[in-house]
Structure 1
Amino acid sequence: MTESGLKAVFLEMRPQLLRLLAARLGDRDEAEDALQDMWFRIDQLVVTGPIGQPSAFLYRIAANLATDRRIAGQRRMARDTGWVDVQVAAEDLPDAERVLMGREKLAAVEAVIAEMPERMRSALRLFRFEERPQRDIATQLGITVSGVEKLLRRAYKQISDATTQFDAGAADRNRLIDERGPLT
């Protein structure tokens, strides 16, 4: 059977192929799209020899196409679901007022840190930003661990005093955590 003969069989069997695809895919519109894809595949098919059972051949193409489309649909749904799951919900995003207040608070903290004495600023930077242990900071600054704790406590107090206008829960911020436990 030639390519044009296969197209003639396809046109004859179109209603049956459409029913098969609709049953396999569960959607008539999707089945119509699959049937269109099938027509394009047949058009691009290079027939090297006669096809003994063209109807069986077309049913096999339709079944394979339906399977491919189901698998692709499942992958698409999993990908889209995964994408939605990692997206930030609109209610989780800060509103403009909170963004502005956060920027103002950050500017206040940066100003307070800039005004701190050098040793206090160094202790704070090493402990909070570089996450160095207090013992290492004490060695580097040439003071005791207790001295580092006092520097950090004073630094936190200055930051807390400067930012109390931004937080209603300023009292909770006075509890500091160091390597030994809560400081009051």
Structure 2
Amino acid sequence: MGDDGLEAVFLAQRTMLLRLLVARLGNRDDAEDALQDMWLRIDQLAEQPIAQPAAFLYRVAANLATDRRIAAGRRGNRDAGWVETQPGAEEVPDPERTLVARREWQAVEAAIGEMPERMATALRMFRLEARPQRAIAEQLGISVSGVEKLLQRAYRKIQDRLEPGGVDSAEARRLDKERGSDRAG
């Protein structure tokens, strides 16, 4: 049976093929799309004679429905995974928090800039490069307890810079005053 024969069987069985696809895919729109795909592929499906063209078409329809269900499941999993990785509204910082964080980071950078070179180096190696204290001690030529003391002093300098009454407290008070006048107005 040639292409004309397969097309004729398809047209004769269209209603039943549509029912099969609706049952397998769960809705008429997806079934119509699948049936349209079948119609467009008939030229590629059978270039040689087919002994039972109706059975062949039903098998193609069933396979196509299975492929579409699998693809829809993967698409759903991919989309669900994407949604799960997106930050929620509560996780996105508001502009005020962003400004405060930026100013705090500038204060930290300023504090690091004022530290003695050895202290700043130890802090960067430990916090930014995630090196163990023993490796820092070896590189700086000091003991592990010396590294611990350097880090403690570095943290204290940063804390002093960030705390009220510290170097940047006037800036923090100014921000608080601005926030208070914004809320009152």
| TM-score tier after normalising by the smaller chain length | 0.7 to 0.9
**Gap runs ≥5 in structure 2:** 169-185
- For 2:7, the aligned partner's letter is K
Give the residue type in structure 2 aligned to 1:64.
N
- Mapped to 1, the partners of 2:22 and 2:39 lie a distance apart of 16
C-alpha deviation, 1:119, in angstroms = 3.0
Amino acid at match of 1:162: R
The 5-angstrom pairing of residues 30-45 of structure 1 reads 30-45=30-45
- Corresponding residue pairs, total: 165
Cα gap change, 1:107 to 1:40, in 2 (>3 Å): same
Asked if 1:59 is matched to 2:48, the reply is: no
One-letter identity of the residue aligned with 2:4: S
Distance in 1 (CA, whole Å) between partners of 2:46 and 2:63 is 18
Per-residue deviation at 1:133?
4.2
Quick check: which one's helix share is greater?
Answer: 2
How many Å apart are 1:164 and its aligned residue? Answer: 2.2
The aligned counterpart of 1:27 is 27
Shift of 1:70: 1.2
What residue is the counterpart of 1:108 in the other structure?
A: 107
Q: Which residue in 2 is equivalent to 1:68? A: 67
1:33-182 matches, cutoff 5 A: 33-49=33-49, 51-138=50-137, 140-141=139-140, 143-165=142-164
Partner of 2:175: none
Could you tell me how far apart the structure 1 residues matched to 2:96 and 2:105 are?
14
Deviation at 1:79, TM superposition (A): 1.8
Asked if 1 retains the 8 angstrom alpha-carbon contact of 2:137 and 2:144, the reply is yes
What is the TM-score when the length of structure 1 is the normalising length? 0.77
Distance 1:151 1:56, change over 3 A: closer
How far 1:158 moved relative to its partner? 1.4
Identity within the alignment, %? 65
Shift of 1:2: 1.9
Q: Where in structure 1 do 4 or more consecutive aligned residues deviate above 6 Å? A: none
CA distance in 1, matches of 2:135, 2:53: 81
Deviations 1:101-155 (A, max 9, x none): 1111111110111111223223323333344444554555455554443332222
